[in-house]
Structure 1
Amino acid sequence: MKTNILGLPVKESEQIVEELNILLSNFQIYYQNLRGIHWNIRGKRFFDLHVKFEELYNDAQLKIDLIAERVLTIGGTPLHTFEDYIKYNRLTVGKNISNDEKAVHLIVNSLSDLLKIEREILNKTAEINDEGTNSMMSDFISEQEKTIWMMRAWLEESL
């Protein structure tokens, strides 16, 4: 089996790059959704949510960079066009959302969809001992699960 400089199998690493690029594309859509609800939120909870949405989009921006850098680290090229992001998107695109509950539901649903992609990657990276990608996915998953819990608590919903 041919391996790359990191000791990972080449063919499987190329597949991981594809999966990471799908995640990258979906994170870009998530980021834009967060920017949109940050700009457009209205109502009595404006001040709290405006700040929270900014916190979330800053975090998403950092994760986007981590994903792109991981793609480069394992020998790929990160996607970087809106055309690619839209092509690989699996998230609902939130447009002109100003209602607080609709905005929070968009976040919960987006994170839930991102978790599905991350778990697919986690399973594939575990098979080839790609601990770098595996660790990143584990970190993302635990953070996003907590955010979902907090958002659902705000909505007064239970799992």
Structure 2
Amino acid sequence: MTSINIGIQKQDRIEIAEGLKRLLADSYTLYLQTHNFHWNVTGKQFRELHLLFEEHYNALALAVDEIAERIRTLGVAAPGTYKAFAELSAIEEVEGVPSADEMVDILTKGHEQVVRTARSVLKVAQDADDESSASLVSDRMREHEKTAWMLRAMRENG
């Protein structure tokens, strides 16, 4: 590949890409959990949750592509295996099929974890004056914060 000259130092590009790899891994793991729950949800809220989870995993599928492409834009290879994602992700795998309420709780925690990962990457991108990565990460944070809020609201009594 030819040299990259986009106004961001090589070491900064690498550091940002490393953070984006963690964001990609968290997002992909959350995508898989959400898709799994879409397939396996049962109970009184089946239709609502089945459709909601489908909406969420479709949005995550687009997000992981955008994150991976940003990593490539920075000149770094994007991870793309289950093994790599498992090593990079802060989101834990789920065994078995949880109840619908547990699914909502697990996904809420997953979205909150993505926000925390994004927040750590955002600081690195801002410090390197990488507005493109900062914008991408900021947009992801906003989406995951909103999704976590909506999922939490589903579990409130009242």
Tell me, yes or no, whether TM beats 0.5. Answer: yes
Q: CA–CA distance in 1 between the matches of 2:136 and 2:88?
A: 21
> Do the aligned partners of 1:70 and 1:133 also contact (CA within 8 Å) in 2?
yes
Q: CA–CA distance in 1 between the matches of 2:97 and 2:138?
A: 30
Structure 1 residue 85: deviation in Å? 0.8
Aligned to 2:123: 123
> Aligned letter for 2:105?
H
> Do the aligned partners of 1:42 and 1:98 also contact (CA within 8 Å) in 2?
no
Q: Runs in 1 of length 4+ with deviation above 3 angstroms?
A: none
In structure 1, list runs of 5 or more residues that go unmatched.
none
Structure 1 residue 4: deviation in Å? 3.9
Matches within 5 A, 1:67-78: 67-78=67-78
Q: CA–CA distance in 1 between the matches of 2:96 and 2:41?
A: 9
Structure 1 residue 22: deviation in Å? 1.3
2:63 equivalent to 1:90? no
> Aligned letter for 2:41?
I
Which stretch of structure 1 is more off in the superposition, 16-25 or 46-55?
16-25
Percent of counterpart pairs with the same letter?
A: 30
Structure 1 residue 26: deviation in Å? 1.5
Matches within 5 A, 1:36-115: 36-115=36-115
Structure 1 residue 122: deviation in Å? 0.4
Length, aligned pairs only: 155
Deviations 1:64-117 (A, max 9, x none): 000000001111110011110111121121233341110110111001111111
Q: CA–CA distance in 2 between the matches of 1:39 and 1:140?
A: 25
TM-score of the two chains, using structure 1 as the length reference: 0.93
> Aligned letter for 2:62?
L
Which stretch of structure 1 is more off in the superposition, 56-65 or 23-32?
23-32
> Aligned letter for 2:26?
N
CA RMSD of aligned residues (A): 1.4
TM-score of the two chains, using structure 2 as the length reference: 0.93
> Aligned letter for 2:106?
L
Q: CA–CA distance in 1 between the matches of 2:27 and 2:143?
A: 14
